[in-house]
Amino acid sequence: MLLQNMKIVITAAAAGIGAGIARVAARDGAAVTIVDIADEPGNRLVKEIQKAGGEALYIHCDVTDYAQLEQAIDRSATHFGGIDTLVNNVGLFDNVIHPAPSIKTMDETHFRRILEINVVSHWMAAKFATPYLRESANASILQAGSIASFLGYPGGPLYGATKGGVAQLTKHLAVELAADRIRVNCYCPGAIRTEGSMRFLEQAGEKAFLQTLTGPNLVPRIGEPEDVGNLVCFLASDRASFINGVVYLVDGGALAWRGTLDLLGIAPESFLS
């Protein structure tokens, strides 16, 4: 059990990648707090984890309401007797707040909203969790970046800018919190099967999705939330105690080269099935 006796708080964990991280963490022995605004799937996931013999708590919280966010972190720490890991998983793509995201259609209010959720809320959650993390023998913060932390692709300019910010925030927080023995690392998923990425597929179309997102995957499939959960849980565990301030890709090899699978004669598995 990689995370035996550990207490882990995950934002945006009712669905998608966050839920995948929650499932893997619970399976690895951690007590899991699911922070989200989607109460029904959040509570359903708690029941699923408990039924499988794990420990879980759901807390309703909009991460941009900082009073709520502080209360959520305090409540999790009180309920489970501390916090070892904070996973700043929340992150919105441009198309969640605008149907046709572009510099021609969006204004600064859109940018501020994405920035608030994707970067500022991470820093605020880290701020509120630090007093608890300081008490842990194996404390760390994990933050959700993206392949968009490294390169551009169509339809998400504001998202990409903020994800670059998350990668840099990771390194600066790792420096700042080193004296408190809190490690800070970043995980950067490629195309992962979630509601968020399927929304992008609907908007951009299958061809664009294939070419820009899954086409370069050297592992010829779309990623699953548990693929990200496996990396995050390793980084949270004491097996990663010498790993700090690092930005990791979990993208099936997509950013290792410039090409798409057809060049190698490999047929990608259908990601729609």
Ligand X SMILES: NC(=O)c1ccc[n+]([C@@H]2O[C@H](COP(=O)([O-])OP(=O)(O)OC[C@H]3O[C@@H](n4cnc5c(N)ncnc54)[C@H](O)[C@@H]3O)[C@@H](O)[C@H]2O)c1
Task: Please tell me whether residue 15 binds ligand X under the rule CB under 6 A.
Answer: yes
Q: Specify the stretch interacting with ligand X by CB under 6 A; choose among 11-19, 102-110, 127-135, 237-245.
A: 11-19
Q: Specify the stretch interacting with ligand X by CB under 6 A; choose among 24-32, 84-92, 176-184, 255-263.
A: 84-92
Instruction: Give residues with Cβ within 8 angstroms of 61, minimum separation 6.
Output: 11, 35, 36, 37, 68, 69, 71, 72
- Give the span between the Cα atoms of 184 and 204, in whole angstroms: 33
Q: Specify the stretch interacting with ligand X by CB under 6 A; choose among 44-52, 83-91, 106-114, 241-249.
A: 83-91
Q: Which of 58, 132, 159, 248 is catalytic?
A: 159
Angstrom CA distances, 222 to 150, 227, 250, stand at 19, 10, 11
- 93, 159 contact by CB (below 8 A): yes
The question of whether 159 is a catalytic residue gets the answer yes
The number of angstroms, rounded, from the C-alpha of 145 to the middle of its chain's C-alpha atoms is 7
Task: Please tell me whether residue 165 binds ligand X under the rule CB under 6 A.
Answer: no
Here the tokens at position 221 are 């499939």
Task: Please tell me whether residue 168 binds ligand X under the rule CB under 6 A.
Answer: no
Task: Please tell me whether residue 38 binds ligand X under the rule CB under 6 A.
Answer: yes
Task: Please tell me whether residue 14 binds ligand X under the rule CB under 6 A.
Answer: yes
CB of 126 to ligand X, least distance (A): 15
Task: Please tell me whether residue 37 binds ligand X under the rule CB under 6 A.
Answer: yes
Task: Please tell me whether residue 192 binds ligand X under the rule CB under 6 A.
Answer: yes
198 by Cβ neighbours in 10 Å (0-12 / 13-18 / 19+) ranks as: middle
CB of 171 to ligand X, least distance (A): 18
- Give the span between the Cα atoms of 265 and 210, in whole angstroms: 15
Task: Please tell me whether residue 94 binds ligand X under the rule CB under 6 A.
Answer: no
Nearest alpha carbon to residue 47 among 62, 28, 32, 69: 32
CB of 250 to ligand X, least distance (A): 9
- Give the span between the Cα atoms of 243 and 186, in whole angstroms: 11
Residues 108-147 binding ligand X (CB under 6 A) are: 117, 144, 146
CB of 5 to ligand X, least distance (A): 26
Angstrom CA distances, 16 to 10, 66, 223, 273, stand at 12, 23, 11, 17
Task: Please tell me whether residue 189 binds ligand X under the rule CB under 6 A.
Answer: yes
Which positions touch ligand X (CB under 6 A)? 11-12, 14-18, 36-38, 62-64, 89-91, 117, 144, 146, 189, 191-192, 194-197
